[in-house]
Amino acid sequence: MKTTTKLIVELDHIRKVYRSKQTFFRSDQKKIIALECLSMKIKRGEILGLVGESGSGKTTIGRLIVKLENPDTGKIYLDDKDISLLKRNSLKNFRSRLQMIFQDPYQSLNPQLSVFDTVVEPLIIHKIGDSTSRQKQVNQSLELVDLKPPADFLDSYPHQLSGGQRQRVAIARAIVLKPEFIVADEPTSMLDATVQLQIFDILLELKNKLNITILFITHSITAARYLCDRIAVIYRGHLMEQGPAQDVMTNPKHPYTKALIDAHPKFGYANKKQYKTLLKTQREPVNGECCPFFIRCEIAKMGVCDIKTPELKKKHNHHSVACFFS
Partner 1 sequence: MVTNTSDSMAGALDMLPKKRQKISAFNEKWLIFKENFIGRAGLILLSLFALMALLSFIPPLIDPMYHPMTGVDPKISCSVGPSIHHWLGTDFIGRDILSQLLAGAKIAFMVGISSAFISIVLGTSIGMIAGYFGRYIDAILMRLADIIMVMPTLLVVLIFSSLFGQLNIWTIVLVIALFRWPGVSRVIRAQTLTLKQRPFIEAAKLAGASPIRIILRHIMPNVLPLSLLYMTFRVSSAIIIEAALAFLGFGDPSSVSWGMMLQWVWKTGHMFQAPYWLLPPGICISLITLSFYMVGRAMDEVLDPRLRKEDD
Partner 2 sequence: MTLLEVKDLSVVYQTRKGFITALNNISFELNRGNTLGLVGESGCGKSTLGMALMRLLPGNASIIKGNLFFENQDLLKLTDDEIRQIRWKKISMIFQAAMNALNPVHRVADQIMEAITTHNSSLLRESAIKQTEKLFDLVNIPKRRMTEYPHQYSGGMKQRAVIAMALACRPSLIIADEPTTALDVILQSQILESIKLFQKKLNLAILFISHDIAVVADICHDICVMYAGELIEYGAKEKVLGAPVHPYTKTLISSYLTLIRDLRPLKPVQDSTTSHISNPDLCCFLNYCPNSEKICRNQKPVWVELAPDHRVFCLLANKIYNG
What does the binding site for partner 1 look like in residue numbers (CB under 8 A)?
A: 66, 68, 91-92, 95-96, 98-100, 102-104, 107-113, 121-122, 125-126, 152, 155-157, 159-160, 162, 170, 173-174, 177
Q: Among 43, 262, 309, 315, indicate the residue that binds partner 2 (CB under 8 A).
A: 262
Kindly indicate which of the ranges 30-38, 62-70, 131-139, 192-200 contains the residues binding partner 2, using the contact rule CB under 8 A: 192-200
DSSP-derived secondary structure letter, 137: H
Residue 221 interacts with partner 2 (CB under 8 A): yes or no = yes
Dist. CA 227–CA 46, nearest whole Å: 10
**Least Å distance between CB 7 and partner 2?**
26
Which of partner 2, partner 1, none interacts with 305 (beta carbon under 5 to 8 A by kind)? none
Which of partner 2, partner 1, none interacts with 24 (beta carbon under 5 to 8 A by kind)? none
Asked if 236 and 31 count as a contact pair (C-beta separation under 8 A), the reply is no
Query: E strands, 79-195, where?
Result: 81-82, 98-101, 181-185
List CB contacts of 250: < 8 A, sequence separation 6 or more: none
CA distances from 2 to 40, 45, 47 (A): 22, 9, 14
Q: Among 42, 47, 83, 223, indicate the residue that binds partner 2 (CB under 8 A).
A: 223
Asked if 67 and 100 count as a contact pair (C-beta separation under 8 A), the reply is no
Residue with Cβ nearer partner 1 (73 or 160) = 160
- Residues in contact with partner 2 by the rule CB under 8 A: 53-54, 147, 162-165, 192-198, 219-223, 225-226, 249, 259-269, 272, 278
